[in-house]
Structure 1
Amino acid sequence: MSVTNLKLKDQSAPRPAAPVIAFTRSVKQATGRPLLARFAAGAANVAPLIVTLSLILVAWQIVCSAPDSSLPAPTRVLEESWELIAHPFYIGQGVDQGLFWHIAASLQRVAIGYALAALVGIALGALVGQSQLAMRGLDPIFQVLRTVPPLAWLPLSLAAFQDGTPSAIFVIFITAIWPIIINTAVGIRNIPQDYQNVAKVLRLNAFEYFGKIMLPAAAPYIFTGLRIGIGLSWLAIVAAEMLIGGVGIGFFIWDAWNSSLISDIIVALIYVGIVGFFLDRLIALVGRVVTRGTATA
C-alpha cells in the first residue's frame, strides 16, 4: 500500500466527537492530580483545627483530672453525660426532653424574633439613611436604646405580655434590631451618587428605587447587620430562657446548674456554640448569594 493511500485512510478514519473528548478530559482531571491537590488543600485547612482542638482537650484533661478539681475532665463529661449525648431526640414529660428539642424550641423563638427584627430594622434603617429629618429625630433614640442590656428588657416584656414565650421573642427582637438598623442606614447613606442619578434619569418611583437601587446597593451593609443580629439573638435567647423557664436550651442549662449536673452544662454549651456557628454561616451564605459575593464572609 502506498504512502498516499495510508494518508487517505487516516483522514477517512472517524474521529471522536468533541463532547466525548471533553468528557474524557474532565474524567482525567477529576481522577488525576487536581483531585489530589484539592484533597491536600482541604487537609491542610482542617489540620490546624484538629491540632488546636487536640491541644485544648489534652490541656483540659490534665488541668481537670486533679481530685480537687471543681470542673469535670473530658473523659468524665463523656461518662456522666453519655445518655444525654447519645439520645438527643428523647421525649419525656414536661421539660424532660432531649437536647434536640430544647434547641429546636429556642430556634423557633429566635426565628420569629429575628425575622421581625430584620423586617422592621431594614425598613427603619432605610428611612433613617434616606431622610435627614428622620435621622435627626430617630438616630439619637436608637443610640440610647441600643445600649440597654437585653435582659433589662425582660421584666418589662413579662409585664406587658404576661407570658414567657412572647416575652423572650420580644427580647430577641429588641436585641437584634439595632445592628440591622444602623448598618442598613450606613449602607443607604453610602449609595453612590451615580446610582441616584440613574434612578432620576429612569424616573423610578419610590418603590422601584427601593427595590432596584437602594436594596441591591446597600445589601452588603444590610447582611453585615443581619449577621451581627443573629449572633446577638442566639445570645439573648439563651439568657432569657434561664429566667422564663419551659423547654429551651437556656432553661436546660439553668436546670442542670440547679441539679449540679456540670457535665450536662458543658455538653449543652458545646451544642450552643455549634448552633450559633451554623446560624452565622447560614446568614453569611445567604448574603453571598444575594449580593453575588460582595458581602464579606
Structure 2
Amino acid sequence: MPVAKPKRNVKSKKSKPISTKWKLLFLFVMLVLLSPLYYGYVLRGFASTWRWIKDIGQDPNYRTYTDFKIKIPKAYTIHGIDVSYYQGKINWTKVKAMEDDDVKISFAFIKATEGISLVDPYFQRNWREAPKAGLVCGAYHFFRPKSDGKTQAKFFLQVVSIEKGDLPPVVDIEGLDGVSSLKMRAELSDFLNYVEMKTKIRPIIYTGLKFYEDYLSGNFDNYTFWVAHYYQPKLRLDKSSWRFWQHSDKGRVNGINHVVDFNVFNGDSLTFEKMRIP
C-alpha cells in the first residue's frame, strides 16, 4: 500500500508592491486628465467672487430689474421709453400694465418724422394708442443738419398734432451729417424757433452725451435737454443741465417684441406734471 506523501504547506503568492515610479506616473496622468475640470472650477469660482466684489463696490441705486432685463438707476421714480418703427407693432396696454418692483412705464417719446419727407410708419398708431393706454406722450423729429431747419420744423408740425397733456415736442440731433458745427447749430436754431413760434411751446433737445459736450453745451442753455448715456449708474452731467436721461437701449417690455430704449425723468411727479402742455 503506497504511503501518502505529506502535504506541503503552500504559501499564497503575494502581489508585488507597486513601485513608486508607477504611482507617480498614475498620479501625473490623473492630474492631466482632471486639470481642465479643476482649473475650470477654480476659474468659475474666481469669476463669481470677482463679480460679487464688483457688485459690492457698485452704486446701490443702480441694480438689475429681472423683468426688464437691464440695470436701472433707482434714484428716479418716473420711468419711460422711446419708440419708432424699429419696435414694430406695440401692445400699449401690456406696456402700461408691466411693473417690476418699483419701476413701471409712465411716459413714451414717439418718433414722428425725419428730415423733410420721412414719416415714421408706426407714428400715427403709436400716437393714438399709447395715450389710450394711459401713457404720457411726446413726439420727436429726427433732425438732419444738411436740410433746412425751418422746412423740417414745418414738416414735423404738419404730421404731429400736439394736445393738452402731451410732453413738449422733441428734436433729435445726433450727428453733423457732413456739415460744420456752425451750420448744424444754425439750422437747429431755425427748427427750434419755428416750432416754438407756432406752438408757443419750447421744444426739448435730445442728443448723446459726447455730442452735447462737443457741439451743444453753452449754445442752447435755455432749452430742456434729454441726454443719452448708456449702462452707467449716473449721468456724467450736472443735474441742472438735463431733464430726461436715456440710460439703456436694451430694455425688454411686455407688449414690445424688440429691445427698447429706457429713460428716467430728473425730478418728482410735480415737476413732471409741470413739463406737460397746459
Which structure has the highest strand share of the two?
A: 2
Q: Same fold by TM (over 0.5)?
A: no
